Structure formats: C-alpha cells, structure tokens
Structure 1
Amino acid sequence: MDPKINGAFNFRDLKSPAVLMPRLRPRLLYRSDHLGALDEDDASHFRALGIRRVLDFRGIFERAEAVCPVPTVTVHSLAIEPTVVQVLGALVAAGEKLTREDAVAHMQDTYRGFVRQNTHRFAEFFAHLMHSDTPTVFHCTAGKDRTGFAAALILHALGATHDDVMRDYLLTNQRLKPMSMKGWSLPAHVVEVLYGVRPEFLQAAYQAIDEDYGSLEGYFSDGLHLGAAERRRLLELYLL
C-alpha cells in the first residue's frame, strides 16, 4: 500500500495492483503530483522510503511557485513548459467558443508535443534512472500528463503490456483532488477535460511515435538512446 502523503494526492508506487508485473521491484519508482505542499510528516515518509532523487518535469514558473521542501532529496529539473492552458486561454480571450472536443484535440496535441518537442527530456529521465536504482520520485504539477507519459515509457521499457500501462495511466483519475473551478478562466466543460486523463491522450503520443520513429522500439533506440546495453541495465536495476 502507498504511504499516506498529505501534500501530494497523486503520489504512488509504480509497482501497484494496476500493473500486473510481479518482477517489477517495489519502493524504487514513485510517480506524483508536485511536491511543493509536503509537510514534515511527508518529509519523514520520504526519509523512511529512502527517497533521495526527484525528477521534476515542471516548467520554470511552476517550479518557482511550489518548491520541494524536503532537504534530504536532490531535485533534477527536466523542464517541459506547459502550453495547453495558455493556448486555450488565448483562444477564449479571442472570442472562440471552445467545445469539449476542442479541448480533447488540444490535449492530444500536447501529447504529440511530448514526442516531437520534448524527447530530449525523456532521454534525460532515462539517463538518471540508469545511473542508479536510488528510490526516485518523478513528477510534474498534477502528475498526470508529463508524468503519465514518463510512467508509460518506463513501464514499456521494463516489459509491461499495453493494458498494464493504460491501467496505471488511468488510475490518475481516481487520485486527483476533486475538480474545482477556482482560479480557472476557461469554461467548465473544458476544465473537465483538462483535469483528467483519457486513453485518447496517450494514444496520440503513440501515434506520433509510430509516425516519426516507426514503432515504440524505434523510439527507444533512436529517440531515447536506449540500445541493448541500456535496456539490460534498466532490467537489472528495476526488475527482480
């Protein structure tokens, strides 16, 4: 069972009942929303779990607004700047009447952008993971999109099935805080789309991978620089 982390609703071990991988080592890889609201009890949990490495996919302003307060971890920035809220906000300000389908399409573009503009960040992510099996948290702001794609990649690299990956990905919908319209300038039906995850979001990333790299294996080798030796290293570190 995941420890109770008061300041991070979407904190969980990648080894979970949603992922049917008996050889995946527990208590090494954790995915989460941002760590800026952790309290002293949370910091104590981190120490008890041996967590020493944090891989942060948030952009510059996101990090500045919610700094990780745990002094015993090393935070590595793998910055991917958020864009979808800004793009949709500009459209609304220009008088566009956005539909739910518009929001879904823009989220799909965001996921294609993970592949087409940010593959270097996910390559850095794997480089950190291959350095050692130090217990690690990787996260963004909500722990659902940038983090969700990273989780999908590491699970695939370790041999998870597509169904396992999708179950882990969709589990986020059960872990997020209840939706609130506070602070949003977008229509409620658009916020509802942005607030959760949907299979078609992740599928858009897979589509971009297939179009640009031929296959997921092609993406691993040509995009993420994970050759045979690197794949073996990952299996040695993170599988029993």
Structure 2
Amino acid sequence: MQQEQAPTRSLPLAGATNFRDLGGYTGQGGRPVKWRRIFRSDHLAALTPEDQALLAQLGVARAVDFRGKAESAAYAYALPGIAYHPLAIEPTVVQRALDLQRTGRQLTAQDAVGLMQDTYRGFVHDNAPRFAELFKLLLASDTPTVFHCTAGKDRTGFAAALILLTLGVPRDVVMHDYLLTNTLYQRPPGMGSHAPEEVLAVLWRVQEEFLDAALHKVDTEFGGLQPYLVDVLGVDAAAQTELAGRYLQAAV
C-alpha cells in the first residue's frame, strides 16, 4: 500500500513568497499538528486571482494582519470570503535604526542584530495583547487561518513560535521552522536601499539570536512558557487542552 504523501509546507503563490503551513510538526503526546489549519505568510496585498483561488481551495477564511497602520494602509487588501482581523504591531526597528544614524553613526551589521533582538524582546511584553488576541481567534474556531506581517518573518515568526511551542513542538523544531524564512522569503527590489547591504542582510533575514532573545525573556522574566501563556496571554490549562484538541491530530 502506497504511503500517503504529506502536504507541501510552502505554498507556491505568485504574490507572496513566504506563505507556509504550520502542519506536520510533532507536538505533545507524539501527535502531529494538523495540516491546512494554520498558515503564516508575508503580506497578502499582491496576491493574484490564481493565488486567491488557491486560498479558497484551502478553505482559508480568516486573515490576521500584524502590520502597523502605515504598512497596512500602503498595501491594503480585501480578499473575498476571508474575514480580516487587524492586530497592529508597529514596526520599531526602522525607527531605531534611523535614530542611530542621526547620531552620525554608520549602522553596522552588529548594530542591526542588536536592534532586531530588542524588537523581539518588545514582542514578549509590549505586544502581548496582540498575541493574546491571536490565541482567542484560534480558540474561537478552527477554521483555516493565515496570519502575517509585511515579510512574514519577525512578528509572524514570534507568533508561529508561540503557537507551535504551545502545541508541544520541541524548541529546536520551532527554530527550524522559524529559519525557513531565509530559504523562502524574497526581498522586494529597492526595499531599504539606503542602508549598507550588510545591514539589509540582517534586517531582511532571520537569525537564531532574534527568536532566542524573545524566548530568553519569556524564560527569565516570566518563568518559562507555561507561566507566560497563563499569566500574560490568558491561555490557561483548559485553553491549551482545547488548542491541542483543535490543532493536533487525534492519537492513533
């Protein structure tokens, strides 16, 4: 008997390069995350009619947009049959980079890594209400959902890490998923062309040090993932059981 092939993780869209499925990873109790329920992506404003047809075929009915107000206004979208949920997290790294440059300093790759780590630490506390809202949506219904920011790498990357960790996916596997952005995401031509290429190579990619900065803050300031989920995001034991029931395959 031929073994059934697993669905593809990355989906071939013309208008988004970083659209992918969180399914298939092994979570708590050895139960895999269900395929075709939760997707992560870069922004959806450039999707073609064919792309939109694929999303409809996948049953995607909710889009969660983590972009800041100016970002979402510049590249707005409305997709037929998909409910739009804006959970704005304003981008801070560009502003901080500009502030550094105004002091007369030439921004280095090392500066950029530090800025990105600070950004990720900010997700953990400053932006916790947005991630709490994402979990509320996932708990309200298991209708196929995509969440995204502009590049689908930082705000989206932290959100994906939280979801997978909550479902019991090991941290090294979560990191592997996070780093897939470097293989998939294609930076739009001309974006951020005023900075040196070595700096852009940091800002438009992901590094283990970025996600580690956020997870280290979760561990050291909140006592680990469990207290953080319960005390900060409002995802208590009952909610975690509900999430596992919705998004992990049933034990065989």
Q: TM-score, normalization: structure 2?
A: 0.90
For residues 121-173 of structure 1, give each alpha carbon's deviation from its aligned partner in whole angstroms, at most 9, with x where no partner exists.
11011000000000000000000000000000000010100111001000110
Deviation of the 1:94 alpha carbon: 3.1
Alignment partners' CA distance in 2, 1:227 and 1:97 = 46
Unmatched runs of 5 consecutive residues or more in structure 2: 1-7
The Cα shift of 1:183 comes to 4.2
How much does 1:98 deviate? Answer: 1.8
Deviation of residue 95 (structure 1)? 1.2
| Matched residue, 2:227 | 218
Aligned match of 1:107 in 104, 116, 123? 116
Gaps in structure 1 of 5+ consecutive residues? none
- 1:220, 1:226 within 8 Å by CA — same for their partners in 2? yes
Q: 2:127, 2:163 → 1: CA distance?
A: 16
Within-5 A mapping of 1:37-186? 37-177=46-186, 180-186=189-195
Match of 2:4 in 1: none
Contact 2:14 2:51 in 1 (8 A): yes
Report deviation, 1:211. 2.6
Identity of aligned residues (%): 49
Residues 3-26 of structure 1, C-alpha deviation per residue, up to 9 Å, x if partnerless? 32111100011125xx34552110
Change (3 A) 1:161 1:182: closer
Counterpart of 1:33 in structure 2 is 42
Question: Are the counterparts in 1 of residues 88 and 130 from structure 2 also a CA contact under 8 Å?
Answer: yes
Q: Deviations along 1:166-205, whole A, 9 cap, x unmatched? A: 0100011001115755443222211110010000000100
Query: Is the CA contact 1:56–1:76 (under 8 Å) kept in the aligned structure 2?
Result: yes
1:104·1:201 contact (CA, 8 Å) conserved in 2? yes
Aligned pairs, how many? 238
How large is the RMSD of aligned CA atoms in angstroms?
1.4
CA contact (8 A) 1:34 1:140 kept: yes
Distance, in Å, in 2 between the alignment partners of 1:237 and 1:54 is 18
Change (3 A) 1:228 1:103: same
Distance 1:237 1:40 in 2: 30
State the Cα deviation string for residues 80-132 of structure 1 (Å, max 9, x = none): 00010121023223311222111101100000000121111110110000000
Distance 1:20 1:167 in 2: 13
Instruction: Report the TM-score when normalising by structure 1.
Output: 0.95
Residues in 2 aligned to 1:109 and 1:156: alpha-carbon distance in whole angstroms:
21
1:218 to partner: Cα distance? 1.0
Relative distance call for 1:154 and 1:49 in structure 2 (3 A) is same
Please point out which of 18, 41, 46 is paired with 1:10. Answer: 18
Distance 1:178 1:208 in 2: 29
2-structure distance, mates of 1:45, 1:36: 15
The whole-number CA distance in structure 2 between the counterparts of 1:196 and 1:66 is 21
- The aligned residue for residue 23 of structure 1 is 32
